[in-house]
Amino acid sequence: EAQVTQNPRYLITVTGKKLTVTCSQNMNHEYMSWYRQDPGLGLRQIYYSMNVEVTDKGDVPEGYKVSRKEKRNFPLILESPSPNQTSLYFCASSPWGGYSGANVLTFGAGSRLTVL
Amino acid sequence: QKEVEQNSGPLSVPEGAIASLNCTYSDRGSQSFFWYRQYSGKSPELIMFIYSNGDKEDGRFTAQLNKASQYVSLLIRDSQPSDSATYLCAVRLDTGRRALTFGSGTRLQVQP
């Protein structure tokens, strides 16, 4: 089954304790992205990657890191989490190009993170 | 000004009615437009996308795009209680920098 898999789905942690949220896709998509979703603010992009070893900042990158060493994986790293990073996080992937149907994002199930 | 704007709702319609959801965007270079549906606590799922001015129909859903006026809308015919969800409008800018910019969504409630 074609899918984007995120782990963990739920996490409660404390301020300053480094954590990684993993994301993996099995569709051979070039493009991967992380979003956070907060009430009233919608989905905001954190980081994205156009392909292996190519990453760039989205709208809200502060406090986050990413890496893309393999095409299928795109982990999100919070080096020193703070309470304002409490949110619902989505990883998404898509093929990339100018053809019809490109850029259609497939989302993971989401990771709900609470930082105390 | 937000790049993609939607009325947060809730938009309440009776079962069987037509629900009309609207979205405006600020960048005239926008190329592609997407509608996603998101149930509470779930991930967004694609309903349809549209690239060209005019209407695009898929079952009970019709997307309408007017680039001159910079708006895109989604019509849901014969609304069902199962359509109750938040509908997200997303726009692909022409920069190649990122895939999609999302609006904050419109919550739709279909009353039985």
Residues B31, B32, B37: CA angle, nearest 5 degrees = 155
- Give the tens place of pLDDT for each residue, B58-78: 999 999 999 999 999 999 999
Contacts of A100 in chain B (CB under 8 A): 51
Contacts of B100 in chain A (CB under 8 A): 103, 105
Shortest Cα distance from A116 to chain B (angstroms)? 21
- Give the tens place of pLDDT for each residue, B30-39: 888 999 999 9
> In sequence order, which residues have a C-beta less than 8 Å from that of residue B66 and are 6 or more positions away?
B53, B72
User: Residues in chain A, how many?
Assistant: 116
d(CA A97, CA A100): 8
Residue A65 exposed, middle or buried by CB count within 10 Å (0-12, 13-18, 19+)? middle
For residue B1, is pLDDT > 70? no
> Identity (one letter) of the amino acid at A2?
A
Mutation target to probe the A interface, by most A beta carbons within 10 A, among B3, B5, B35, B43 is: B43
